[in-house]
Amino acid sequence: MLLTRRIPSAVLRPLEAACRVDLYDGPSPVPVEELKHRLAGQQALICLLTDPISADVLDASADLKIVANIAVGYDNIDVTHAKRRGIVVTNTPDVLTEAVAEFTWALILAAARRLGEGERLVRRGEWKGWALDFMLGTELRGKQLGIVGRGRIGQAVAAKAPAFGMRVAFAARQGRPIAGDELSFDELLIGSDVITLHVSHTARTHHLFDRRTFARMKRSALLVNTSRGPVVDEEALGWALTERLLAGAALDVYEREPQVHPSLMNLDNVVLSPHLGSATRDTRTAMAELAVRNVLAVLTGQEPITPV
**Residues forming the active site:** 228, 257, 275
Is there a contact between 76 and 49 (Cβ–Cβ < 8 Å)? yes
Task: Kindly list the distances between the CA atom of residue 231 and the CA atoms of 8, 50, 166, 234, 279, in Å, as whole numbers in the listed order.
Answer: 31, 17, 24, 9, 21
Separation in Å, CA 120 to CA 123, 133, 275: 5, 18, 20
CA distance 164 to 173: 26
**Beta-sheet strands, E only, within the chain:** 2-3, 22-23, 44-47, 66-69, 88-90, 144-148, 167-171, 182-183, 194-197, 222-225, 248-251, 270-272
What number of other Cβ atoms are within 10 A of residue 221's Cβ? 25
Identity of residue 258: P
Distance CA 39, CA 86 (A): 17
Instruction: Establish how many alpha carbons lie within 13 A of residue 167's alpha carbon, considering only the half-sphere containing its beta carbon.
Output: 11
CB < 8 Å & 24+ apart, contacts of 136-139: 137/112, 137/113, 138/112, 138/113, 138/193, 138/220, 138/222, 138/247, 139/112
Residue type, 48: L
Q: Which residues of 101-137 are buried (b: 16+ CB within 10 A; e: fewer)?
A: bebbbbbbbbbbbbbbbbeebeeeeeeeeeeeeeeeb
